[in-house]
């Protein structure tokens, strides 16, 4: 446990020293909040069922953070470690392989959670964000969503031959999810022709789950989202375990 804690602390410092990863996880959601919050404010509107734009957008931006971490940060970082032979050196140490991989999961989960907390605090202080759900229920949904996308990130890192390939694959997967899942633009604004695309994107299930729990909806209304995310988690872990390469 001590070795896991120390390695996680080292990886957290390295994460914060990477300006791109730190920006898109911690700062970019705040930029989105400032832009759209200053344009639309957070007054209740019938368009969002009596809720404000920030009330609807905040859990969606949390989904955006999850997607960024899973599809970009993890995939690129792990593939880069393998290409630079850092993973091989790690494996040559007395550290157990599970400790090395667990530290990657831990640091990325912590940074994802930190990004979400910064977003919520800023939205509450500046735009009087309203929360209608149960905090523990929302946290459970957040954990499920984050672990599901982290497993996909490890899957991409396992399949990509190089860090450059992981970067390209991650972006190809990430950007349609970013713009068409409802994570940036509310899906209520989508024309009917894009609705079927929305349902085909895995990040849309995170958006729907987190928004539903944020508004106090029971888990029973989101069994489809839970099933999809659990399926992603199980498949991602199973395939990564078989295809993960240390060098």
pTM for the whole thing? 0.92
pLDDT in the model for residue 20: 75
pLDDT in the model for residue 220: 95
Across the chain, mean pLDDT equals 89
Supply the DSSP string of the chain, one letter for each residue. Answer: -HHHHHHHHHHHHHHHH-HHHHIIIIIHHHHHHHHHHHHHTT--BGGGTTB-HHHHHHHHHHHHHHHHIIIIIIHHHHHHHHHTTHHHHHHHSSS-HHHHHHHHHHHHHHHHHHHHHHHHHHHHHHH-----S-HHHHHHHHHHHHHHHHHHHHHHHHH-SSHHHHHHHHHHHHHHHHHHSSSSS-GGGS-HHHHHHHHHSHHHHHHHHHHHHHTT--GGGGHHHHHHHHHHHHHHHHHHHHH----
Q: For 56-105, how does the pLDDT look when each residue is reduced to its tens digit (9 = 90+)?
A: 999 999 999 999 999 988 888 888 888 888 778 877 777 677 777 788 88
Comparing 151 with 197, which gets the higher pLDDT?
151
Q: For 28-57, how does the pLDDT look when each residue is reduced to its tens digit (9 = 90+)?
A: 999 999 999 998 889 998 888 889 999 999
């Amino acid at each position: 446990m001590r070795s896991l804690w120390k390695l996680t602390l080292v990886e957290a410092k390295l994460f914060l020293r990477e300006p791109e990863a730190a920006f898109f996880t911690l700062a970019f959601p705040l930029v989105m909040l400032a832009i759209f919050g200053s344009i639309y404010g957070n007054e209740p509107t019938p368009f969002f069922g009596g809720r404000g734009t920030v009330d609807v957008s905040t859990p969606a931006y949390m989904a955006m953070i999850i997607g960024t971490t899973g599809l970009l940060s993890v995939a690129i970082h792990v593939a880069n470690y393998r290409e630079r032979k850092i993973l091989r050196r790690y494996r040559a140490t007395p550290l157990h392989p599970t400790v090395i991989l667990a530290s990657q999961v831990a640091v990325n989960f912590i940074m994802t959670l930190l990004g979400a907390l910064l977003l919520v605090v800023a939205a509450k202080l500046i735009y009087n964000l309203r929360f209608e759900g149960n905090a523990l229920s929302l946290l459970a949904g957040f954990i499920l969503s984050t672990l599901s996308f982290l497993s996909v990130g490890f899957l991409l890192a396992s399949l990509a031959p190089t860090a450059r390939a992981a970067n390209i694959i991650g972006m190809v997967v990430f950007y349609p999810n970013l713009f068409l899942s409802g994570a940036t633009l509310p899906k209520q604004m989508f024309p009917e022709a894009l609705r079927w695309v929305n349902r085909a994107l895995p990040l849309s299930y995170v958006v729907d789950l987190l928004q539903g729990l944020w508004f106090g909806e029971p888990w029973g209304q989101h069994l489809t989202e839970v099933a999809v995310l659990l399926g992603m988690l199980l498949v991602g872990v199973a395939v990564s375990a078989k295809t993960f390469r240390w060098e």
